[in-house]
Every structure is written in C-alpha cells, then in structure tokens.
Chain A
Amino acid sequence: MSWPLWEVFVRGKRGLNHVHVGSLHAPDAELALRHARDVYTRRNEGVSIWVVPAGAITASSPDEKDPFFAPSGDKVYRHPTFYVIPDDVPHL
C-alpha cells in the first residue's frame, strides 16, 4: 500500500508568495505538512507551507501549448509595456 502524492508550496520568512518546491508521499494532509517541513524547510521559523493532493491539481497540457499560449504572443497591446514604472515601486 503506497501513500498518495502531495505537492508542496513554501513561502519564505520574507517571501511574498508561495513557491512550488517539490512533492512527497504522505498518508494525509496533516502528516504531509509535517513531512514537508522536515524535507523542504528544515523548520526555519516563520515560513508558511501549503500541501495539495496532486490529484486536485489540473495542469495545462503540453500538447496544447501552442493553441494555449501562442496567440497572445503577437498582440503587443495585451502587454502593459507602454508606460514608465517609477523607480520607487517595489516588487515589479
């Protein structure tokens, strides 16, 4: 009997967003959190961990990569690139 797969997302102490760092096997969400802490964070205080059962994630298909993403490539008006960002705006 094998444990189900969980995907792990971690946000650092001063990090802004959760980042996917890897996956692991665990019997349930509670133990997935604890194992994620052991394997991926070394228990550094002040980090936030999300675990998600891998089955709950719907991914875009690599086969449909072109129809999915390519059409936006040549439409420059879709990209907010026509104004100057002030120097003191952080995180952009």
Chain B
Amino acid sequence: MAFDNAYESLTEEHGEETRWAYGTGFADTMAGVAHALPAGADPADLFAYCLMLGDDALVLAQRLAEWCSRAPELEEDVALANIGLDLLGQARPLYTRAGEVYPAGRPAGVPRHVPDEDALAYFRDEHAFRNVRLVEIDCGPGPGGDFAATIARLLVFSSWRLALLSRLTSSTDPVLAAVAAKGVKELAYHRDHAAQWTLRLGDGTEESHRRMVAGLATVWPLLDELFIAHPVELRLAETGVAADPSALESEVDEVLDQVLARAGLDRPEVRPLAPVGGRAGRDGVHTEAMGYLLAEMQYLARSQPEAVW
C-alpha cells in the first residue's frame, strides 16, 4: 500500500527498491563530458591547476571529516559531513583529469593498479600539494579552533570558491566546466550554511559572539593568499581554461561584508600571513599543520601500497 512506508510515495520510480532516505534518480553529471585538451593549454599547467582546485577541496574535506561525531548537535554533524562529501566529490574528477592530461605527473613508484586519483591523493608529499593554506590549518575540533572557527573558515572558503567556480562554468576545459557546473550548486549551499551560522553565533550570546570574533581572526590572515594569482593560473586564464583569482576579490569582499554586518561583526584587523620567500600554498609551501594532516590521511595507503580497496 502507498502509505505503509512514508518514502514509497516519494520515490521517483515506484517499484524501485525502497531507499532509506528520499532522493533517487540522480544523474551522473560527468557522463558524456568531452575530454579533449583545450587549445593552447599546456598539459603540465592544466595538471597543476587541477591539483590546485582538487587539493583545496580534498584538504578541507579531510578537515571537515574530523568533525564526525564531534559537532555540537546531531543534525550539524550530518551537515558538516555532507559538505565534506561534496568537496571530496569535487576533488575526485579533478585528480582523474590531472592524471589524464599529464600522466608524467603521477607520483613515481605507485603500483599500477592504483587509480590516478588515489595516487595523487595518497602518494604525494606535502610540497607537491598546491592547496591554499586556509584549508589546512586546524580550525577545530582540534586545539586550533572550535565550531565558530570552522564556520568562519567555511564562510570565507565557500564565498571564494563559489565566485571561482561560477567563472569556471565557462572554462574551455570541458571537465573543469562540468565540475564547476555541479560545484556551484554545492558551494551555494555551503556558503548559505556558513552564513546562517555566522549570523546566529555573531548575534547570539556574548560567548558565541566572542568565539565568532576569535574564529574570524584565526582565518583572516589567510584571506589575502586566495587572491594572489599563480603563474600557472595566469597562463591558463589567457587560454580561457582558468579564472584569474585576483579578479574575485571585490565580489568575495562584498559577500563577506554583507554577512558580517548583519551578524554584528567587524572585519578583523590582522596582518596577512606572509608567503615564505615569495612562496605559499600554491607553490607547495605550507604551514606546519599540513604534514600532520597528510600523515594521518595517507598512513594506510602508504603502509599497504599493494592493497586494493
């Protein structure tokens, strides 16, 4: 009968096996996407660019996964896990694309049966990772932060990545355009979720306001780096593959100012975290948090490189 189970009347195809949560009939957004190399793009540059975008997503997904079972409420636990899974889902096709356009970039010595996406995630050292430093620092649940710091980082990151992916939906690289088209919907949700919590914490109790101020101060020094264009990005922007991050700043600022103003929060006055000898995350120069993060993430794959999972 139709209403013996609440979900029976909700599933797209009646007669399909009953799902435990509503939401069937998903289409594979990567199906049918062309894989030609865009004209004028250097494969090594496209490889590096896919790593930049993929590493940002993978490393933040790893950070968000640390919240599993430790969020303030059960529902928020699910929300943070969901956001992490979205980001991991963005990283995977980017790594696969990187391996496809530039096989020489695959880490040496990784068994042949390991797919490119796993080889790139699990068998690169810290200095081969090209993520911005914002995503790697500890914003909680470790000693480096708390829920407010995690929300502050998510607000900054998702505002920036949404602006970036919006431009990449018209990338001349078909895979990047497809990943971006899927990603903008996800990032719009991430930004909304972070903004909702920024309002509640900033405009909540005295204690939550204090923590939100501290959280913003934790992540703000890493804001500038998001808008510094790497030579790879500039070269690829000329061929229509990439977006120049320096063009995103005013758009991101406007969003952040709007949210902070409504939450009764000020833009922190902190000095930017300087690059090291002119080099930062995009060049593989990271904070001290990065090595520990990778050691934990890569431990099993590296100790059992022949394993299949």
Residues of A near any B CB (own CB < 8 A): 3, 10-15, 17, 19-22, 24-28, 30-31, 34-35, 38-45, 47
Partner of A30, one of B3, B6, B196: B196
Q: Total number of A-B contacts with CB less than 8 angstroms?
A: 69
Give the residue name and chain of the A residue nearest to B7 (CB): A21
| A42 contacts B21, C-beta separation under 8 Å | yes
**Is B12 on the interface with A (CB-CB < 8 A)?**
yes
Measured between beta carbons, the chain B residues less than 8 angstroms from A45 are: 185
Report the Cα distance A41→B22, complex, angstroms. Answer: 5
Distance in angstroms from B71 CB to nearest chain A CB is 11
Chain B residues within an 8 Å CB radius of A40: 21-22
A34 touches B196 (CB 8 A): yes
Interface 1/0 per residue, B193-214 and A, CB below 8 Å? 1001000100000000000000
Partner of A10, one of B22, B76, B189: B22
Contact, CB under 8 Å: B9 / A15: yes
Is there an interface contact between B73 and A25, defined as CB atoms closer than 8 Å? yes
Contacts of B185 in A (CB 8 A): 45
B residues engaging A (CB < 8 A)? 3, 6-7, 9-12, 21-26, 73-76, 78-79, 82, 185, 189, 192-193, 196, 200
Chain A residues with CB under 8 A of B192: 34
Q: Are A12 and B11 in contact (CB under 8 A)?
A: yes
- A13: chain B residues at CB < 8 Å are 12, 25
How near does chain A come to B245, taking the closest CB pair, in angstroms?
28
- Nearest 10 A/B pairs, CB to CB: A42-B23, A35-B75, A44-B23, A12-B10, A21-B6, A38-B82, A38-B78, A38-B79, A41-B22, A19-B6
Given A43-B189, A44-B26, verify A14-B12 contact (CB < 8 Å).
yes
- Chain A residue nearest in CB terms to B186: A43
Given A25-B73, A34-B196, CB of A39 within 8 Å of CB of B6: no
Contact among A10, A14, A17, A34 with B193 in the assembled complex (CB-CB below 8 Å)? A34
